[in-house]
Amino acid sequence: MRSGARWVIDHMANQSRTGAFVVVLAFGTGLCANRPVVASELWTWSMEGEGHGTARVFDGGPVVTASSVATPLSPAVFFAATDRTRVGSQAATYSTGGESDVRINGDALTVVVNFNTTYNGGFTSQDDHTGGEGGGSLWSVIELVMPQDELTWITSLIIHDTAWFSGDTFVKFENVTQGTTLLELDSPFYEWGTLVGETGDIIRITSEMSGQGFFPTTVTLAYLAYEGSLNAVFIVPEPTTLVLLAFGISIVSRRRRWLP
């Protein structure tokens, strides 16, 4: 799953893996050539990506479509296609949407990539439970520059796959500068650790998510979906915090040694 000795994992980890997904992924390099500086001098990042989706409930209406492409002026992907049996009602709804974005809050940078395609059977009269279908895909390549040699790294990937729906999710983390693969994910995952590299290293996060669903005409209420959701948080530890943490670990270690 991992290669490269520069990825250091702490023992606070919890992984769960279920199912298998098809991996189809190959993207270019050098996205950071014209990278913008945003929000904080600590972080420099760039993004490439696009997504599209369709939605249709079986009420005789047209297919709803939506798409999005990241650009230098709008470095994010967001799309949402929603089709309702009746506008303004809580009846049958099919929706497909996705987003890929980078958010900065102080000394933390969060990479968010979400895709979903869902059917909701409705909550009103039985005539509105018409069934529906749709689907779509999302891919993005996000690169960030390490502002120091070590970062706290919290990564989670949630995949929700129900009957009548299918999809694929694949995420890859790389240290482009050092030519190493840090992490590859195609199933549910959570981990807290430390990313070790060198200041100025380019870290690339490549994501591809796609899914489709079909729900036949029925009066049965249902909420069915394929969803993939990645959240990767990179935190610049403050030197004082690191010293206190190291001091605390040292005290705990000594206490354990002194216990009979």
Query: How confident is the model over 18-39, as pLDDT tens digits?
Result: 222 222 222 233 344 344 434 3
**Residue 250 and residue 242 in contact, taking contact as beta carbons nearer than 8 Å:** no
Residue with the larger pLDDT of the pair 54 and 246: 54
DSSP string of the chain, one letter each residue = ----TTEE--S-EEE---S---------S-GGGGPPB-S-TT-BEEEEEEEEEEEEESSS-PPEEEEEE--SSS--EEEEEEEESSTTSSS-EEEEEEEEEEEEETTEEEEEEEEEEEEE--SS-GGG---EEEEEEEEEEEEEE-SSSEEEEEEEEEEEE-TTEEEEEEEEEEETTTTEEEEEESS-EEEEEEEE--TT-EEEEEEEEEEEEEE-S-S---EEEEEEEEEEEEE---HHHHHHHHHHHHHHHHHHHH--
- Strand 202-215 and strand 132-145: pairing? antiparallel
Query: How confident is the model over 94-126, as pLDDT tens digits?
Result: 999 999 999 999 889 999 999 999 988 766 555
Q: Is the pLDDT of residue 74 over 80?
A: yes
pLDDT of res. 163:
85
Q: What is the residue-averaged pLDDT of the chain? A: 77
**Residue 117 and residue 212 in contact, taking contact as beta carbons nearer than 8 Å:** yes
What mean pLDDT comes out for the span 54-65?
92
Instruction: Judge whether 216 lies within some domain.
Output: yes
Instruction: Judge whether 1 lies within some domain.
Output: no
Instruction: Judge whether 149 lies within some domain.
Output: yes
pLDDT of res. 239:
52
Instruction: Judge whether 68 lies within some domain.
Output: yes
Instruction: Judge whether 102 lies within some domain.
Output: yes
pLDDT of res. 155:
97
- Residue indicated by tokens 């120091």: 148
Instruction: Judge whether 174 lies within some domain.
Output: yes
Query: How confident is the model over 138-192, as pLDDT tens digits?
Result: 999 999 999 999 999 999 999 999 888 999 999 999 999 999 999 999 999 999 9
pLDDT of res. 121:
79
pTM: 0.76
pLDDT of res. 61:
87
Count of domains observed in the chain: 1
Query: How confident is the model over 232-260, as pLDDT tens digits?
Result: 999 998 654 444 444 443 433 333 333 33
pLDDT of res. 238:
67
Domain of 33, in residue numbers: 7-258
Query: Side-chain half-sphere of 196: how many Cα atoms within 13 Å?
Result: 9
Residue with the larger pLDDT of the pair 98 and 14: 98
Query: Side-chain half-sphere of 218: how many Cα atoms within 13 Å?
Result: 11
Q: Is the pLDDT of residue 129 over 80?
A: no
pLDDT band for position 222 (50/70/90)? low
Instruction: Judge whether 19 lies within some domain.
Output: yes
Instruction: Judge whether 39 lies within some domain.
Output: yes
What mean pLDDT comes out for the span 226-233?
97
What mean pLDDT comes out for the span 219-237?
86
DSSP string of 82-136, one letter each residue = EEESSTTSSS-EEEEEEEEEEEEETTEEEEEEEEEEEEE--SS-GGG---EEEEE
- How many residues does this entry show for the chain? 260
pLDDT of res. 26:
26
- Residue indicated by tokens 């290669």: 3
